[in-house]
């Protein structure tokens, strides 16, 4: 049975809110790590909890070693960094290969799928980058488990920010007020409503109990809306639970169908993934390329960085050529939009209000059409 209809999960989540909001001597991050281990172990699978602990400890040991040897030996540090980077990357590649082509019923795959390893992998990359490059404090092992495997963000994200998670320990303890609790409960129930009534109710109304089939443009537009309510519903629930728990949880969707361009769409749809890409991939890559090639190639570097980043986003979803082509296409479109916007801004007539309004309307229609066509291209295969 899915987690949403599992009363054990909701009982445990309520107990976690009480435990997180009670005045206790334990740091919030450590407390949350222990609670996440218990929830996953009891509500899902105790072996998944053991795997969480093993992965968390392995990442912690590697990063702790880097911190210890950093000043003394750069060779040892590089070796540790490579090990802590390559081991999760290897597991991620194998996980994705099995997901795409292999036998998805094996125990290791099932446990990694229970933990949504695609998201865990991105959190591991973030913690490695932040701790090794920026020398930000490394959380204690159990607290790190809480960052990598936050139980309320496990099903479908969002991707929490390491620096924000760290701040939980610095904040002064405050009791949960009735107004805050009411707002949190409203968010959780609204998320549940989006998922159950709008997504699943809508799906059953349109396609019956049969599997979703993307055969026409109308189907694709409806699936696009279904995914928004389905994924958005989970994200709103996680956001509400995060507020109740006092755990920083980012907002993941902000009216994406009102986006006036593909670039804006990615600032409204799966926001935490877009932010992750900007922090961990786009900015570091762009800075390095500009340093190597020089600022006279800034435009080429911008285009290249966008295409590489979105190709990465494509294969992160699925290891197949369709998602790769989709990612490259999105990156290229965003680069084109950036160039068109800079030309547009230089025109004096572009400041006319009526023209701006018309461009906005056309932009919303263009974005919905382009993104639906893009999703249709990748979903066509997976729903066949």
Partner 1 sequence: MKWQKREWLLVCGIVVDVTLKLFLIAALIDNSGADFVYRGF
Q: Decide: is 370 part of the binding site for partner 1 (CB under 8 A).
A: no
Binding string, 322-361, against partner 1, x = CB under 8 A?
----------------------------------------
Q: Are 211 and 384 in contact (CB under 8 A)?
A: no
Bond preceding residue 119 cis, omega within 30 of 0: no
Q: Decide: is 203 part of the binding site for partner 1 (CB under 8 A).
A: yes
CA distance 286 to 284: 6
Q: How far is the CB of 292 from partner 1 (least distance, A)?
A: 33
308: burial class by Cβ within 10 Å (0-12, 13-18, 19+)?
middle
29 vs 372 by CB, closer to partner 1: 372
282 vs 319 by CB, closer to partner 1: 319
Q: How far is the CB of 168 from partner 1 (least distance, A)?
A: 25
Write 292-301 long-range contacts (CB < 8 A, 24+): 299/339
19 vs 192 by CB, closer to partner 1: 192
90 vs 201 by CB, closer to partner 1: 201
Binding string, 150-169, against partner 1, x = CB under 8 A?
-----xx-------------
Q: Decide: is 91 part of the binding site for partner 1 (CB under 8 A).
A: no
Tokens coding 192: 């549940």
Cβ–Cβ contacts within 10 Å for residue 171, how many?
10
Q: How far is the CB of 227 from partner 1 (least distance, A)?
A: 9
Q: Judged by CB under 8 A, which of 30, 36, 49, 118 binds partner 1?
A: 118
CA distance 125 to 115: 16
Q: Which stretch binds partner 1 (CB under 8 A): 50-58, 85-93, 176-184, 282-290?
A: 176-184
Helix then strand count (H, E) for the chain reads 17, 0
- DSSP percent split of the chain into helix, strand, coil, nearest 5: 80, 0, 20
Q: Judged by CB under 8 A, which of 47, 140, 193, 315 binds partner 1?
A: 193
DSSP letter (8 states) at residue 282:
I
CA distance 281 to 273: 11
- The residue ranges that bind partner 1 (CB under 8 A) are 2, 4-5, 116, 118, 155-156, 178-179, 182-183, 185-186, 189-190, 192-193, 195-197, 200-201, 203-204, 208-209, 230-231, 234, 316-318
């Amino acid at each position: 049975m899915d987690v949403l209809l599992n009363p054990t999960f909701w009982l445990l989540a309520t107990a976690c809110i009480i435990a997180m909001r009670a005045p206790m001597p334990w740091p919030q991050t450590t407390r949350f790590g222990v609670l996440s281990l218990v929830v996953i172990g009891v509500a899902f699978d105790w072996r998944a909890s053991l795997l969480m602990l093993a992965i968390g400890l392995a990442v912690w040991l590697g990063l702790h070693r880097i911190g210890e040897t950093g000043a003394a030996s750069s060779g040892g540090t590089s070796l540790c960094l490579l090990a802590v980077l390559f081991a999760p990357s290897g597991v991620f590649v194998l996980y994705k290969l099995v997901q795409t082509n292999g036998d998805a019923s094996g125990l290791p795959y099932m446990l990694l799928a229970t933990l949504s390893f695609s998201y865990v992998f991105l959190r591991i990359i973030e913690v490695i980058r932040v701790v090794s490059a920026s020398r930000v404090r490394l959380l204690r092992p159990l607290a790190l488990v809480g960052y990598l495997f936050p139980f309320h963000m496990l099903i479908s994200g969002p991707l929490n920010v390491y620096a924000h998670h760290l701040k939980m320990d610095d904040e002064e303890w405050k009791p949960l007020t009735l107004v805050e609790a009411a707002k949190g409960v409203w968010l959780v129930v609204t998320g549940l409503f989006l998922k159950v009534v709008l997504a699943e109710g809508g799906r059953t109304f349109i396609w019956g109990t049969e599997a979703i089939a993307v055969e026409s443009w109308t189907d694709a537009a409806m699936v696009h809306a279904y995914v928004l309510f389905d994924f958005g519903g989970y994200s709103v629930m996680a956001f509400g639970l995060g507020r109740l728990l006092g755990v920083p949880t980012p907002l993941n969707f902000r009216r994406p169908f009102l986006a006036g361009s593909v670039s804006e769409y990615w600032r409204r749809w799966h926001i935490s993934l877009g932010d992750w890409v900007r922090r961990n991939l786009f900015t570091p890559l762009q800075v390095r390329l500009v340093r190597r090639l020089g600022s006279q190639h800034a435009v080429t570097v911008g285009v290249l960085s966008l295409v590489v980043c979105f190709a990465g986003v494509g294969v992160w979803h699925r290891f197949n050529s369709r998602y790769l082509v989709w990612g490259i296409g999105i990156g290229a479109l965003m680069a084109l939009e950036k160039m068109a916007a800079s030309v547009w801004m230089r025109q004096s007539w572009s400041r006319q209000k009526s023209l701006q309004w018309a461009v906005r309307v056309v932009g919303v229609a263009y974005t919905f059409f382009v993104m639906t066509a893009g999703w249709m291209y990748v979903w066509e295969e997976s729903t066949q």
